[in-house]
Amino acid sequence: MKLTRQVQRDSRKGLLQHLILQAIPAPSQLMEAGIQINPVGVEMWQASWAWSLPLIALNVILHVFGLVFINEKVVPVLGGAMERRRFVLTFAVIMGVTALLATVLHALEAAAWAAAYRLLGALPDNKVAMLYSLSAMTSYGHAELFLERQWQLMGAVEALNGMLLFGLTTAFLFAIIQRVLSLRNRGR
């Protein structure tokens, strides 16, 4: 009985593979029909990576320095607020300022990508480049803007960069909250 079911599954799987292969034309058939398989070309993908990887490194370094600055200049204000009666209000204001500064960091990082898009001629003007960059970095993706075909991989890589940067920001904000709450609990 088990062997019969296995044979039935294998024959259905084989039939499915056969149907899929019949529905998808072979690369030689596409080329005969004048359809390019890789219209962008390997060189342009390499160029996208060549521009994208340094931008990721630059943005992560900028982000880390920015978060360290925020940690050293803004967060210590909370230390003095531990004994005050209005601790929660002070904590909320400091977290708001910290989030605002982190947002400025993200905007600067999006501007670096926008500048690269303009330099490459991938987008027509600065406003469009900044809007596209913010849309890609946040993975919002609803702006009706598109990079020139040969640079479209950069938009996807920028989204990857945005995930890394937002992850760093989230971890940083969480660490601040944890540190403040542990200090507050020790003081009680």
Q: Supply the pLDDT for residue 141.
A: 78
Q: Supply the pLDDT for residue 7.
A: 46
- List CB contacts of 135: < 8 A, sequence separation 6 or more: 141, 142, 143, 145
Clarify whether residues 24 and 54 are in a common domain. Answer: no
Cα distance between residue 105 and residue 97, in whole Å? 12
pLDDT digit string (tens) for 121-171?
Answer: 999 999 999 999 999 999 887 768 888 888 999 999 999 999 999 999 999
Range of the domain at 14: 1-37
Q: Supply the pLDDT for residue 75.
A: 72
Clarify whether residues 14 and 46 are in a common domain. Answer: no
Clarify whether residues 146 and 88 are in a common domain. Answer: yes
Clarify whether residues 90 and 68 are in a common domain. Answer: yes
Q: Supply the pLDDT for residue 44.
A: 73
Which residues of the chain register pLDDT less than 50? Answer: 3, 6-7
Q: Supply the pLDDT for residue 22.
A: 59
Clarify whether residues 6 and 87 are in a common domain. Answer: no
- List CB contacts of 71: < 8 A, sequence separation 6 or more: 172, 176
Quote the number of domains for the chain: 2
Clarify whether residues 143 and 122 are in a common domain. Answer: yes
Greatest Cα-to-Cα distance within the chain, rounded to the nearest angstrom? 78
Tokens of 4: 């019969």
